[in-house]
Amino acid sequence: MATTVKPTAAAVPKPRGIGKYLVWSIDHKVIGIQYIVVSFFFFLVGGLLAELIRIELLTPAASLMVDGGAYNTLFTMHGTIMIFLFVVPMLAGFGNYLVPLMLGQKDMAFPWLNALAFWMLPPAGLVMLAGWLVGPAQAGWTSYFPLSGPQFSPFDGQTLWAISLHLIGASSILGAVNFIVTILNMRPAGMSMWQMPLFVWSIFATSIIILVATPFLAGGLTLMLFDRLAGTSFFSPATGGDPLLWQNVFWFYSHPAVYIMVLPAMGILSDVLSVHARKPVFGYRFIALSSLAIGFLGCIVWGHHMFTSLASWARIPFMLTTMLIAVPTGVKMFSWIGTLWGGKIRFTSAMLFSLGFLSMFVLGGITGVFLASIPVDIHLHDTYFVVAHFHFVLFGGSVLAIFGGIYHWFPKMTGRMLNEGLGKIHFALTYVGFFLTFFPMHFLGLEGMPRRIYTYDPKYEALNVLSTIGALIMAVAVVPFLVNVAVSLVAGKPAGNNPWRALSLEWMTSSPPPELNFDEPPIPASDPYGYGTPEGAAYLASGGKVALPTSGHGHGHGDQPIERPATGD
Amino acid sequence: MKLNRFAIYLIVGAVFIAIGIFVGLTARVFPIAASAEAAAVDSLFNFMLAIAVVVFLIVEGGIIYSIIRFRRRAGDETDGAPIHGNTALEITWTAIPAVIVFVLSIYSYQVYVTIRNPEPKDNEVRVGVVGQQFAWKFTYEMPEDSDPEVTPELREKIQQYMLDSTLYLPLNRPVRAIIESQDVIHSFYIPEFRIKQDATPGRVTEAYFTPIEKGEWWVVCAELCGVGHAAMSLINKVVVIEQNEFDDYIATLYAKAKETASDPRSPEVGRQLIVNKYACGACHILDDVGLAGNIGPSLNGIATRAEGHAERGEGLVGGTDAAAYIRGSIVNPNLYLVAGYAAGVMPQNYGNPNVMSEDDLEAIVNYLLTIRDE
């Protein structure tokens, strides 16, 4: 019998160019970009829905929408898509691309699992969008029972909504396990936990939250599917269920989800501010620890979403924990200003978006304290004040940081710089449009305008017009960004290894990095934020070949310079 | 030099605090404070606003100062000073916010237990608030009645008709609102009272407030409740009146309820139920009583159409006459769908006698049988 030759891995041709992003790949860089591109597509979808919402709200009477149901679908899908198919996977994409590079590794701990986690996302997105074919979900992104139950939402879109979130949740849990294992076990020699870039810290804290909270979403969705498909009544009061059970389970996940969306954005911010202000991060340990503190507190504040439905006494502990969360958040804000203070600030697009985050997120944080106070929240709950608050957190925070991150790391991912002129136009339009859209909503809420309505009392009209104008400016703002990306991909200025002269390891290799990231095992700088120190300057001058221990400040370890061992082992 | 800088920080801090206090004292961002509770909430809000303004100015001031003072000058390729932190400063800016939120928590707690005090008050008015898709209805307690013919059984029956689509309340008396929902979650919200409480099906919840201004305002639904959620915020009003006017109102309502209880299936009763109890106007048009909803099919001429269906013998369920068509359309709305309207939009629970009693159903059917094409 003739023996057959087994095909080896090398015998299978690897797709090149764009092709490699369209197929199964276990390269974390490919997966990172797959996440980023897919979630950006959903940003455009969610944004389109937001524009339709704002156009409908231009006048107090119904104009665009045929009925309340169509409008309810708009904001249900807008919220769900922006949270679950844009912000969460976008930040997972940054994490996938950057964490192994920042740790000087070839890949994540479990590359195959990583690919599996990503490939659950496109089907989840398609299932979500398929809702429109069968009668889309219209019970809000919170999908409170009994409105989302089989009696009041007979359309199959609500079932598809739950299935889609189930897939995204599972994907998110797989990703979190991978990050935790990678960060705890795969740091290079010479990098303790306290020498990791703060972005890695933020992904670490986020992954812990995901691992603790997301199973509750999965449990809740499973019960929802049973109620909808199998005739059970976990949440239906008519047959002995309890609608508040859904609220508790849902918010036990969905409040921490806010931090899943904000902590990595804060990690991006810490890195970008330090690099572009040429100054060490101020209070590194406070920032790192505050991520963990926010993660912990974030899991015990969910009841503040239920200040008008929980029993009176049960609201009080949630007020206290919610108030407390302002403290670690404040620590971060002040530390970032401390980072700017005394720096040599470069107004790159990445920096402008990060400064935009700083100046806008603070408002979202402050209004969060108002909403933590039960008597004030009773008036403001489910009004436009809340809409303003969480958009200052999630757009003023997460989205601005995401854009900052794209301008900062695009050169590493593609080998080409983005155009700074277009970047600044993009920033200016986004910043102005954002503020104009969401700032007036505070006053609408204080006046008592409820959320989720498509016709409203004419006394609210003037501020709604302002808000819609702002939304249209934001829509225009996307154009220079898309043009910038398209043009820069083919004709952008070559980036070189380290265009920002940054100290963290992802810059100590070519742009884009080779398939296994580093030609030789890299040596981390003893302080990833050692700007202005002789050690940092020497490290940069050597192109990442020699790392000296830092003098003082308690970040460095060891007395001897760490040099790369002779290669060839 | 060092002292000078410290002095500048002090002056800037004092100016920020002065601005904060000024804003806290002068800001008027709320609608009229029409309840006793509203004043307490507004004071708390303005206190928080004063602190918020100071924090906001410090942060934005720090950012703006930094980007001007510490911008890179042309040609400067050096790095900033390698300052990694300042433990004393970091402890300070952890401790001060901690103290602030501690104070705010205590103040908020005090206001909360004052405005949400479930203890029975001497002269309180008890009203029932029921949320339904897509309107509120309000129930009132009956006045005393010395008429010997009014038996306890009759009283019970009369109570069922002590309801209205407008919430009338007497001035300066504490109100205990007892809140329920008969379908999905709604949220009882009167912005001018700063009061909001969810109406959760399967639960009875309460809200407490004392109206201190005469006037009329919308009763809003703050929780998404379905296709008619927006309409539900612009359909019912709360009207605060003098005590004697309130007494007159209750007396009139009682007299009407007594009359209804004696003939509960008359068309006139049905006419009132459609408006006051079942909020058909949130979705349907009916010119006879001024209903103008745009979600479901028009009810104008419904009797003529029902007779048409009966004459053509179109497989009606539970009878062969026009009444069967109307009754079936109410208790089982998906049975005879009007072309162009979706199944599952109208509440599906009117067949439940706890939601719509047999008397009410017959009264409504009898009334709708009088609505013919002109």
Shortest distance, CA B182 to any CA of chain A (angstroms) = 10
Give chain A positions within 8 Å (CB) of B226.
Answer: 68-69, 72, 147, 152
Q: Is B231–A312 a contact, with Cβ atoms under 8 angstroms apart? A: no
Q: Which of B120-129, B206-215, B256-265 has the lowest mean pLDDT?
A: B256-265
The distance of Cα A520 from the centroid of its chain, to the nearest Å, equals 32
Shortest distance, CA A447 to any CA of chain B (angstroms) = 5
Q: Is B185–A330 a contact, with Cβ atoms under 8 angstroms apart? A: no
Shortest distance, CA B258 to any CA of chain A (angstroms) = 31
Number of structural domains (chain A) is 1
A443 vs B29, B67, B187: nearest CB? B29
A407 inside domain? yes
* Confidence at residue A2, expressed as pLDDT on a 0 to 100 scale: 47
Contact criterion met (CB below 8 Å) for A251 and A286: no
Specify the DSSP element, H or E, that contains A39. helix A28-56
Q: Is A362–B79 a contact, with Cβ atoms under 8 angstroms apart? A: no
Q: Which two tokens stand for residue B369?
A: 């049988």
pTM: 0.91
Give the length of chain B: 374
> Which phi and psi angles does A562 have, rounded to 5°?
-95, 125
Contact criterion met (CB below 8 Å) for A554 and A527: no
Shortest distance, CA B93 to any CA of chain A (angstroms) = 6
Neighbouring CB atoms inside 10 A of B154's CB total 15
Question: B281-314, pLDDT tens digit by residue?
Answer: 878 888 888 787 778 889 998 889 888 888 887 6
Give chain B positions within 8 Å (CB) of A72.
Answer: 224, 226-227, 229
Q: Which of residues 217-256 of A touch B (CB under 8 A)?
A: 237-238, 241-244
Q: Which of residues 352-371 of A touch B (CB under 8 A)?
A: 355, 358-359, 362-363, 366, 369-370
Q: What percent of chain B lies above the pLDDT cut of 70?
A: 98
A483 reaches B (C-beta below 8 A): no
b/e sequence B285-305, b meaning 16+ C-beta within 10 Å: bbeeeebebbbbbbbbebbeb
> Which phi and psi angles does A236 have, rounded to 5°?
-95, 115
> Which phi and psi angles does A567 have, rounded to 5°?
-75, 165
Q: Is B60–A359 a contact, with Cβ atoms under 8 angstroms apart? A: yes
The domain of A494 spans: 25-563
Q: 3-class SS at B236?
A: strand
Contact criterion met (CB below 8 Å) for A538 and A552: no
Contact criterion met (CB below 8 Å) for A277 and A336: no
A295 inside domain? yes
Give chain B positions within 8 Å (CB) of A379.
Answer: 30, 41, 191, 194-196
Q: Where are the domains of chain B?
A: 2-65+89-115, 125-262, 268-368
Q: What is the dihedral of CA A237, A242, A246, A247, to 10 degrees?
A: 100
Q: Which of residues 136-155 of A touch B (CB under 8 A)?
A: 138-140, 144-147, 151-152, 154-155
Contact criterion met (CB below 8 Å) for A68 and A452: no
b/e sequence A481-514, b meaning 16+ C-beta within 10 Å: beebbeebeeebeebebbbbebbbbbbbbebbbe
Question: B38-77, pLDDT tens digit by residue?
Answer: 999 999 999 999 999 999 999 999 999 999 999 999 888 8
Q: Is B226–A152 a contact, with Cβ atoms under 8 angstroms apart? A: yes
3-class secondary structure per residue, A172-216? HHHHHHHHHHHHHHCCCCCCCHHHCCHHHHHHHHHHHHHHHHHHH
Distance CA A444, CA A451 (A): 10
Q: Is A555–B201 a contact, with Cβ atoms under 8 angstroms apart? A: no
A289 reaches B (C-beta below 8 A): no
A64 reaches B (C-beta below 8 A): no
Q: Which amino acid is at A420?
A: E
As a 3-state breakdown, chain B gives helix, strand, coil percent values, each rounded to 5, of 45, 15, 40
Site from B5, B79, B89, B188 to mutate, A interface, most A CB atoms within 10 angstroms? B79
> What are B138's strand-pairing partners?
B129, B164
Q: Is B48–A373 a contact, with Cβ atoms under 8 angstroms apart? A: yes
Q: Which amino acid is at A61?
A: A
The answer regarding whether domain B125-262 maps to CATH 2.60.40.730 reads: no
Give chain B positions within 8 Å (CB) of A366.
Answer: 52, 55-56
Tens-binned pLDDT, residue by residue, of chain A (569 aa): 444 545 454 445 566 678 888 889 999 999 999 999 999 999 999 999 999 999 999 999 988 877 888 999 999 999 999 999 999 999 999 999 999 999 999 999 999 999 999 999 999 999 999 999 998 999 999 999 999 998 888 889 999 999 999 999 999 999 999 999 999 999 998 899 999 999 999 999 999 999 999 999 999 999 999 999 998 989 988 788 999 999 999 999 999 999 999 999 999 999 999 999 999 999 999 999 999 999 999 999 999 999 999 999 999 999 999 999 999 999 999 999 999 999 999 999 999 999 999 999 999 999 999 999 999 999 999 999 999 999 999 999 999 999 999 999 999 999 999 999 999 999 999 999 999 999 999 999 999 999 999 999 999 999 999 999 999 999 999 999 999 999 999 999 999 999 999 999 999 999 999 999 998 889 999 899 999 999 899 999 888 877 666 544 444 344 444 444 444 33
Q: Please, what sign has the CA dihedral across residues A508, A510, A513, A516?
A: negative
Fold designation for B268-368:
Cytochrome Bc1 Complex; Chain D, domain 2 (1.10.760)
DSSP assignment letter at A22: S
Give chain A positions within 8 Å (CB) of B76.
Answer: 344
Distance CA B155, CA B157 (A): 5
Which residue shows structure tokens 């860089």?
A29
A275 inside domain? yes
The CATH number assigned to the domain holding A315 equals: 1.20.210.10
Q: Is A453–B202 a contact, with Cβ atoms under 8 angstroms apart? A: no
Distance CA B357, CA B330 (A): 12
- Closest residue in chain A to residue B65, using alpha carbons only: A341
B185 vs A144, A343, A378: nearest CB? A144
Chain A and chain B share a number of CB contacts under 8 A equal to 290
A179 inside domain? yes
Give chain A positions within 8 Å (CB) of B67.
Answer: 340, 345, 347, 355
DSSP assignment letter at A306: G
Q: Is B66–A334 a contact, with Cβ atoms under 8 angstroms apart? A: no
- Closest residue in chain B to residue A306, using alpha carbons only: B198
Which residue shows structure tokens 């996440």?
A35
Q: Which of A272-281, B94-103, B290-299, B362-371 has the lowest mean pLDDT?
A: B290-299
* Confidence at residue A475, expressed as pLDDT on a 0 to 100 scale: 96
A16 inside domain? no
Give chain B positions within 8 Å (CB) of A136.
Answer: none
A308 inside domain? yes
Q: Is A457–B201 a contact, with Cβ atoms under 8 angstroms apart? A: no
A395 inside domain? yes
B76 vs A62, A344, A363: nearest CB? A344
Distance CA A112, CA A177 (A): 13
Q: Please, what sign has the CA dihedral across residues B15, B54, A332, A444?
A: negative
Distance CA A53, CA A66 (A): 13
Distance CA A231, CA A5 (A): 55
Strand B135-140 to B285-286 pairing? unpaired
> What are B217's strand-pairing partners?
B238
Q: Is B226–A308 a contact, with Cβ atoms under 8 angstroms apart? A: no
Task: Label residue B339 exposed, middle or buried (CB < 10 Å: 0-12, 13-18, 19+).
Answer: exposed
Q: Is A447–B67 a contact, with Cβ atoms under 8 angstroms apart? A: no
Q: What is the dihedral of CA B78, A97, A126, A395, to 10 degrees?
A: -30
B82 vs A308, A372, A530: nearest CB? A530
Task: Label residue B77 exposed, middle or buried (CB < 10 Å: 0-12, 13-18, 19+).
Answer: exposed
Interface pTM (ipTM) of the complex? 0.90
Contact criterion met (CB below 8 Å) for B283 and B329: no
A15 inside domain? no
The answer to whether the peptide bond before residue A522 is cis (omega within 30 degrees of 0) is no
Q: Could you give the C-alpha distances from B85 to A286, A335, A431, A553, B128, in angstroms and in order?
A: 9, 8, 30, 8, 59
Site from B9, B41, B189, B229 to mutate, A interface, most A CB atoms within 10 angstroms? B229
Shortest distance, CA A346 to any CA of chain B (angstroms) = 6
> Bigger pLDDT: B287 or B318?
B287
Distance CA A463, CA B165 (A): 30
